[in-house]
Amino acid sequence: MQIKDKVFIVTGGASGLGEGTARMLAREGAKVVIADMQVEKGEAVAKDIGGVFVKCDVSSEADGQAVVDKATSLGKLAGLVNCAGIAPAEKTVGKNGAHKLEVFTKTIMVNLVGTFNMIRLAAAAMAQNEPESTGERGVLISTASVAAYDGQIGQAAYSASKGGVVGMTLPIARDLSRNGIRNMTIAPGIFGTPMLFTMPQDVQDALAAGVPFPSRLGTPEDYAKLVKHIVENDMLNGEVIRLDGAIRLAPK
């Protein structure tokens, strides 16, 4: 799959991993549709890279379809990169009692249901594409987390949502194999994103020091490099790749 002149959707493309991916795809010659709830940031990034912004709640069928419709109006929709997500922290039983059910439900809706919503809608559009010479019609890349495997204290909701993304990677790839559409997942470790930058600096430093090698925070550019390779290597399908510098998270 070549990136140049193809259309790609990036959810969560207004900041963090999504913004890094959107910028990489634009540099490689793609037409990029940024789907995000952050209107001001999303429009600014889209303008900067010559892309298009669509306000989107990924868990909404209508919003997701509007993004896909915009993408297909621009040309051949060849890729979807799911980076939209939230990361609340709350213990199952904390000082204020039981974990709020609405927090758990919202995390699942955004991170898991939203990811699947965008996959199913984009895949339906990609299935109508004329295949590449390899028989490929599109590629889907979603974002899990090492917390899917090494969930820490306070991450029950987040880990459950990302574990679901991991769990559906292979069956979706198998579902879509007859359509020539690949499905992959990246599980980042400790990355420098807006969510992490809300933490105190000493906490950020401690997290970076905990990465065996390289002992630093991952960057959106690191993530985007892997996205590029997945898009271009058509033998990558149905797998989750940890992008984590060999870290394994401690309980807290």
158 is an active site residue: yes
Closest to 17 (Cα-Cα) out of 190, 226, 220: 220
Catalytic member of 158, 187, 223, 245: 158
Q: Which residues carry out catalysis?
A: 158
